[in-house]
Amino acid sequence: MPSSSIDHAFTATKNTGRATDPTYAGALSFMRRRYTKNLKGVDVAVWGIPFDAAVTNRPGARFGPQAIRRASAIFDNDPQYPFGRDLFNELSVIDYGDCLLDSGNHQKTPGTIEREAAKILRSGAFLLTLGGDHYVTWPVLKAHAAIHGPLALVQFDAHQDTWPDDGKRIDHGSFVGRAVKEGLIDPDRSIQIGIRTHAPDDFSIKILYGHEVEELRAVDIAYAIAERTGGKKTYVTFDIDCLDPAFAPGTGTPVAGGPSSAKILSVLRQMGHIDMVGADVVEVAPAYDHADITAIAGSTVAMHYLGLLAEKRARERA
């Protein structure tokens, strides 16, 4: 069927409703959502943070937001699988663009991210962040905790990110420990899924290691997440290296032995009753990708967040 319009990211007159761009053409926003800084009446703001100066291995995640947006064009505005619905029938979603950072002064980075995140959250919009390396979650968590208090953290990752930290480091491998120390997250309500490395301290966060994830059913993993978070307001962070490198080669620190995208997407699909107040996808580094495998996985994770929010909205209005 021929499209009736193109470049929906710029030509749309409202934040709901589907786009009609061809998959292979048109301006690339996340899922063709309208680019705007106007947050009035917005349910979800999709925001990119193109930062990767905190990596300890391969850089390149600064290009993650671009890659995820590009890959999201594959969602051609049919009812989205597995939700069976047009996510934008009632859910007002915008692409807020990217965070502007001073590439020559990284000490300003966390404050810049936190202030912009806080501005978005004050509008009442749900913030869906596209990284960037995993350090960007730290200032975003600060902005969320300032509103909600200590959060439950659901972390899909191959790494614990709890390495020693002096409170000043710009490091994607230590932000979780810092978040515990500063009271941003409640470790007794937090869980890490897919861990395949060891750090000196777990800060009492529950861990489902890679081999356990392999042996458990998706429904059991989702149940463990629900049980651990216990109804507490929850931030969900998804480091794409949670997935096995076969499913996500385009990342800075790939670790063998991880789960498939199919299994983890099935887990996400069953997280509809988690009180999710914020979410992100990080560490997509397209320079190491092949045929957009990793970017497609990352964009699908982000789409699942929107699917869960659309279902929640439908339940609230029923």
| Model confidence pLDDT, tens digit, residues 186-197 | 999 999 999 999
- Fold exhibited by the domain 8-317: Arginase; Chain A (3.40.800)
Q: Indicate if the pLDDT at residue 292 is higher than 90.
A: yes
What average pLDDT score do residues 302-315 get? 96
Which residue numbers belong to the known binding site for Mn(2+)? Answer: 134, 157, 159, 161, 239, 241
Q: What is the pLDDT of residues 136-181, one digit of tens each?
A: 999 999 999 999 999 999 999 999 999 999 888 899 989 999 999 9
Sequence ranges of the binding site:
134, 157, 159, 161, 239, 241
Give the Cα-Cα-Cα angle 221, 296, 261 (nearest 5 degrees). 25
Q: What is the pLDDT of residue 268?
A: 98
Summarised one tens digit per residue, pLDDT across range 101-144 is 999 999 999 999 999 999 999 999 999 999 999 999 999 999 99
φ/ψ region of 84 (left if φ > 0, alpha if ψ in -120 to 50, else beta) reads left
DSSP string, 209-275: EHHHHHHS-HHHHHHHHHHHHTT--EEEEEEGGGS-TTT--SSSS--SS---HHHHHHHHHT-TTS-
> What was the pLDDT predicted at 1?
44
Dihedral sign of CA atoms 44, 51, 302, 204 in order: negative
User: What pLDDT is recorded for position 3?
Assistant: 54
Q: So what's the pLDDT on residue 126?
A: 98
- Which of 188-192, 265-269, 311-315 has the least mean pLDDT? 311-315
Residues ≥6 apart with Cβ < 8 Å to 122? none
> pLDDT value at position 76?
79
CA distance 197 to 215: 17
Residue type at position 264: I
Tell me the C-alpha to C-alpha distance, in Å, between residue 180 and each of 167, 174, 186, 196: 11, 10, 7, 21
Tell me how far apart the 2 most distant CA atoms of the chain are, in Å.
58
What percent of the chain is predicted at pLDDT more than 70? 99
Give residue 270's pLDDT band: very low, low, confident or very high (50, 70, 90).
very high
Give the mean pLDDT of 291-309: 98
The first and second tokens of residue 21, run together, are: 């761009």
Assigned token pair, 260: 């498939």
Q: Is the pTM of this model over 0.85?
A: yes
Residue 92: pLDDT above 90?
yes
* Residue 48 CB partners (closer than 8 Å, separation 6+): 64, 65, 66, 68, 69, 97, 98, 99, 129, 130, 131, 132
pLDDT of residue 236 exceeding 60: yes
